[in-house]
Every structure is written in C-alpha cells, then in structure tokens.
C-alpha cells in the first residue's frame, strides 16, 4: 500500500480510537513530540506525514467526509432477520420494524417514501402507454395524468378518542386520499385525516397547501375524480345523475353520450380502485391495525404505500400484480373498500365549478359517442 493509502487507513483508525485521537490533538497543539506506542510511531516517522494528515482544516474535513460517507454506516433495521426472511416478516404484518427506514422519521423528511411516492414523469408530458395503446381511451383521454380517490383504513383508537374517527362505516378509520398513475403506482398520498372527514375536505387541503407537495396538473392536463369531488379545473368528474359504475352497464349498453362517457370514465378510473385493492390484500396490518400511537399508525400506512410502489417497480413476477395485469376488469375487494362513499356529492360544499372542464367532458363524450355510432 502507498504511504497516502496508509495514512488514510490511519485517519480512519483515529476516528474509531478516542485515545489516539486525543494524542494527536495534544501533539498538534504544542507542536512537540510525545511518547506513543510503536504502531503510531511507525505511521508518523516522517514529518511530512504528520503535516499531510493534520496540517490543515481542509485535510481534516476531507478525512471526515471520507469516513462518514464510505466507512461509517448507521444501521437502518433492527430485526435480526435478513434477506427474504426479513421481507416476508414485513409483508406478513410487522412493517413497524422498517417504518423508520422507509419514512425517514429520524431524518426530518419523508425519507424513502418521499422518493418512491411521486410521479415517474413529474412534468406529465408523456401520454401513459395504458391510454396510448388502448382504443377505449385513445385519443379521448390523452391528457389524463392519473386518478384520485379516497379509501378508509382501519384505525386503532382508544374509546375516549374514537368519535372523530368513526364515519359511515361505524368503526374507527383514517380517511386516506391518494393519486395513482396507470401503472398502479401511487404518486401522492395524504394520510392522517379522521374517518368522519369528507373526501372533498381532504382533497381541498391537499391541493391548496403548497406544503403538501401535491403533484398539480399542468395546463391542459387533468386527473379523473368521481362525483364525490368538486368540479374544478384540472379534475374531470363524471356526469351527475347518470349511470356510472361498470356493473350498471352489464345488462344494458350506454343509451346516450353522457352514459358512454361515464362508462369510459369509470373504466379508466378503476386503476385507483385496483391499486387500493392490491394494497389492502397484501398488507394485512391495514385491516387489523395494532395498538400503536396514532402517529405510528400513520407512519405504518405511509410505509405500505411506499412498499406497494417498490414491489410494483422491482418485482415483475409479483402474484397480486400479475392477477391484475391478466384480468384488467378485476378489482380486489375487502370490507374497507367504500363504494357508497363515492356517491356522496360535493356539490355545495366548496365553490369553484369549472365551465372549462364541462367543455372538456362534453367534447370527450361527443367523440366517444360518435365513434360508437360508426
């Protein structure tokens, strides 16, 4: 090893041994020779070695940077399990062991979750391939960038504090709003609202507060939302008081352009329903939340959304996603997927109706209906 390389190893050794570090501090302050053990003496037998190692603040900073970046590693998981065994432990209902690593609780920001739960195309310039390659949606929904919906996830709340968390389901829940792309990856999630909160209130808080970092739709682009959300620019709702859900069209096809639009809108928006379904099927902890603190429960939910995206991106053979990919009309169901909640109208709750989006909806409906009649 070269003398420089030997000095680097010695610098690292200094960081790990407080006794040796103290010797060097004293040696530098009085610029005199001190009695040291033979190991240190061998490494400092030349005066220029000492100057190279400790002669300037720059060298000290460089040594510290090298050590903390490449040598010192802060452990991120506390489980004794490793590899596949640890992953299975997480998936089987104990994500609390990895929550800190995923959400970055000790780092002052949203950690891994912040990096994973976000749009793959932040500028939304590209047409999603799921729209581009499907004649049911192209060219009608070419400017659609994703879907928005809310879901209820079980909360474990002490009896004295349950009232705000009990909504239409009669059990304590969190009202979670999320956006997803057409690859069924979540691009935004708002966690922590009580189950009694209206979907629209959660939605408005997300899009109006810059601190929430909601991925706003660019000019001319829009999300698909159901009629439980307000009619605003950048958010396309279905026609009200008109058949909408796919099950309503099983026996009778659309009779007019409004129904034709609603059926296509519902079909494309089902990506968010399927994403929620997979999330809850995979993570059983979301159905039976342990007695953690409220903040820890929120962290656990956030972590499952991040893990959902990670699995979708990195595991091409995942069985749950494989089923969805092979059966595009299949939506996993469980007791907490709330269909009735989607029928709660937001009309009158908030101002901001968008005539522009009504024109967009009418134009798309006309194109779909004319294509059917050819």
Q: What is the pLDDT of residue 168?
A: 79
Q: What is the pLDDT of residue 293?
A: 94
Instruction: Say if residues 368 and 257 touch (Cβ distance below 8 Å).
Output: yes
Task: Please give the helix or strand (H or E) that residue 6 lies within, else none.
Answer: helix 3-16
Calculate the dihedral angle through the C-alpha atoms of 34, 35, 40, 43, rounding to the nearest 10 degrees. 60
Residue boundaries of the structural domains of the chain: 3-71, 97-373
Q: What is the pLDDT of residue 133?
A: 96
Read off the tokens for 232: 């605003």
Q: What is the pLDDT of residue 95?
A: 46
Q: Give the residue ranges of the chain where pLDDT is below 70.
A: 1-80, 82-111, 334-353
pTM > 0.85: no
Instruction: Say if residues 330 and 324 touch (Cβ distance below 8 Å).
Output: yes
Instruction: Say if residues 240 and 348 touch (Cβ distance below 8 Å).
Output: no
As beta bridge partners, residue 166 has 172
Q: What is the pLDDT of residue 30?
A: 47
What are the DSSP calls for 289-338, one per residue? --S--HHHHHHHHHHHHHHHHHHHHH-TT-HHHHHHHH-TT-----TT--
Burial class (CB in 10 A: 0-12, 13-18, 19+), 255: exposed
257-282 and 319-326 are packed helices; what angle lies between their axes, rounded to 10 degrees? 160
Q: What is the pLDDT of residue 16?
A: 52
Cα distance between residue 141 and residue 279, in whole Å: 26
Q: What is the pLDDT of residue 294?
A: 95
Would the CA dihedral through 102, 103, 109, 112 be positive or negative?
A: positive
Read off the tokens for 227: 């009629």
Cα distance between residue 174 and residue 150, in whole Å: 10
Cα distance between residue 116 and residue 197, in whole Å: 27
Q: What is the pLDDT of residue 45?
A: 44
Q: Which residue has the tokens 């190893």?
A: 9
Close Cβ partners of 163 (under 8 Å, ≥ 6 residues apart): 196
Cβ atoms within 10 Å, residue 291: 9
């Amino acid at each position: 090893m070269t003398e420089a390389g030997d000095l680097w190893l010695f610098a690292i050794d200094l960081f790990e041994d407080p006794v040796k570090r103290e010797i060097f501090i004293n040696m530098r302050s009085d610029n005199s020779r001190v009695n040291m053990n033979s190991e240190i003496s061998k490494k400092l037998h030349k005066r220029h070695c000492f100057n190279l190692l400790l002669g300037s603040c720059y060298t000290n900073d460089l040594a510290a940077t090298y050590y903390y970046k490449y040598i010192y590693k802060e452990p991120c998981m506390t489980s004794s399990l490793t590899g596949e065994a640890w992953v299975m432990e997480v998936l089987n209902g104990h994500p609390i062991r990895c929550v800190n690593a995923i959400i970055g609780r000790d780092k002052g920001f949203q950690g891994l979750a912040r990096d994973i739960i976000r749009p793959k195309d932040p500028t939304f310039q590209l047409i999603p391939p799921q729209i581009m390659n499907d004649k049911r949606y192209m060219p009608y929904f070419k400017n659609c960038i994703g879907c928005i919906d809310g879901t209820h996830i079980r909360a474990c709340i002490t009896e004295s504090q349950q009232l705000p968390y009990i909504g239409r389901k009669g059990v304590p829940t969190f009202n979670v709003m999320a956006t997803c792309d057409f690859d069924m990856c979540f691009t935004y999630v708002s966690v922590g609202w009580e189950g009694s909160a209206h979907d629209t209130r959660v939605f408005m808080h997300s899009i109006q507060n810059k601190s929430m970092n909601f991925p706003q739709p660019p000019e001319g682009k829009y999300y698909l939302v159901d009629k439980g959300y307000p009619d605003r620019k950048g958010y396309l709702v279905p026609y009200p008081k008109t058949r909408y859900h796919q099950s309503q069209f099983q026996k009778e096809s659309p009779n007019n352009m409004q129904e034709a639009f609603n059926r296509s809108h519902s079909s494309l928006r089902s990506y968010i329903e399927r994403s929620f379904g997979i999330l809850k099927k995979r993570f059983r902890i979301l159905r039976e939340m342990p007695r953690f603190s409220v903040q820890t429960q929120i962290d656990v939910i956030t972590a499952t959304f991040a893990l959902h995206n990670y699995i979708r991106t990195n595991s091409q053979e995942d069985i749950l996603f494989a089923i969805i990919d092979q059966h595009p009309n299949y939506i996993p169901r469980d007791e907490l997927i709330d269909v009735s909640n989607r029928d709660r109208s937001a009309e009158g709750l908030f101002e901001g109706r968008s005539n522009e989006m009504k024109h967009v909806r009418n134009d798309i409906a006309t194109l779909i209906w004319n294509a059917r009649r050819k």
